[in-house]
Amino acid sequence: MDSYHITGGKRLAGEHRITGAKNAVLPILAGAVIPGGVSKIRNCPRLSDVDAMVRILEGIGCRIRREDDSIEVDAGGVDSCRIPEHLMKEMRSSVFLMGPLLARCGEVVLSHPGGCEIGRRPIDIHISALRKLGVEIRETDGGLACRAANLKGTEIRLEFPSVGATENLMMAAVAARGETRILNPAREPEIRDLQDYLVSCGASVEGAGGPVIRVRGAGPLKGAEHRVMPDRIEAGTLLAAAAITGGQVLLTGAMPEDMEAVLEKFREAGCLLRTEGDKIELSSPPRLRAVDSVVTQPYPGFPTDMQSQFLALMTVARGECRIRETIFENRFKPAKELLRMGADIRIEGPVAVVRGVEALRGARVAAGDLRGGAALTVAGLAAPGETFVENVCHIDRGYDKLEVTLRKLGAEIRRIEE
């Protein structure tokens, strides 16, 4: 597997335009199955997860055309409701096809999804919610067989504001008779982006970002053109890379209004932030100060997808920081690797206690998941000496050539292909 070779200690500076959001493009590509026509999805990042989704779409009969940052999905030839098991195992986000295929075909057969090993991520919430719409779900050896002979709108309260369950419900409900009311939905900005795409296809969906989402079953949908929103996690990761190196970076094409919980923690760490329109500029002090507490929460709280990067950031901040993870139980896996780099981290159940050290040191470490790999890369940028980050295939799932972006900002980093 490929790895990164980083020579740390270089101050990052420069400008970068944020790419399309991984967490938005995947459900939108899945949703492109619902209309019988052609959808053109623009601002698609080059990610291995996007490549996997494209292979799944082709596997069920879609015709795909890619040009620059656009993906054209012609779903007119969909001829299968079975998602190949080997492709399901590649990525967790393949579960997003449950709702679209139920809406389009009335059935779907799938195995349990794969993805990063960051703890239990059961799809029980998806299953119980879809059953309330009238979906019959039968467990098979290693998977699920779902049928929707008569989807009927109803009121569904989610026990937890799951992003995936909210999106699956929205997409299935466009084919249900009557109105579906989703209570306690996830409110992430990516939910709004999916709503915008569905509405452009002719669906009746409203309320994304609020306490209730309403979906009224409409007639056949048409294909549409849609531009994917910018990736707030890529933006946060690059801000962390600049901050840990005492650098200064200007991000364009961002949506700072969707990142306030993250930006506030950078301010607490002593960074100077300026936001205007789609721009975020960060200037870092010579040494960061520790933030007293970080608690991951559903949006608009601090995102779990930024927890690992902030863990790395706090390893060199002056003072002590307590980071509580409330979403996934295994998201402190990078801590073990950061200890190899000289970090002072103590894990107390769902809390990581981080005491900042004067400096990290280069080491050979291994990425165990997407955001953990990004965190180790961020740490390596600040560590004197050489750092090797192995298994960067995890990083490729959510970042479009991260090493190229960092090199343009002044990092000494290269990919070693193996």
Q: What is the pLDDT of residues 323-361, one digit of tens each?
A: 999 998 778 999 999 999 999 999 999 999 999 999 999
Express each pLDDT in 370-400 by its tens digit.
999 999 999 999 999 999 999 999 999 999 9
CA atoms within 13 A of residue 405's CA, in its CB half-sphere = 25
122 has a pLDDT exceeding 70: no
∠242-244-247 over CA atoms, to 5°?
40
The pTM score is 0.95
Distances, alpha carbon 356 to alpha carbons 165, 254, 291, 376, in Å: 38, 30, 11, 16
What is the length of the chain? 418
d(CA 15, CA 408): 9
To the nearest 10 degrees (0 to 180), the angle between helices 307-314 and 333-340 is 30
Q: Which of 116, 146, 201, 271 is catalytic?
A: 116
Longest dimension (CA), the chain: 63
CB atoms within 10 A of CB 344: 13
Which bin fits 405, alpha (ψ -120 to 50), beta or left (φ > 0)? alpha
Residue-averaged pLDDT of the chain: 94
Q: Is 116 one of the annotated active-site residues of the chain?
A: yes
State the burial class of residue 209 (Cβ atoms within 10 Å of its Cβ: 0-12, 13-18, 19+): middle
Tell me the mean pLDDT in the region 94-121. 76
What pLDDT digit, counting tens, does each position of 19-72 carry? 999 999 999 999 999 998 999 999 999 999 999 999 999 999 999 999 999 999
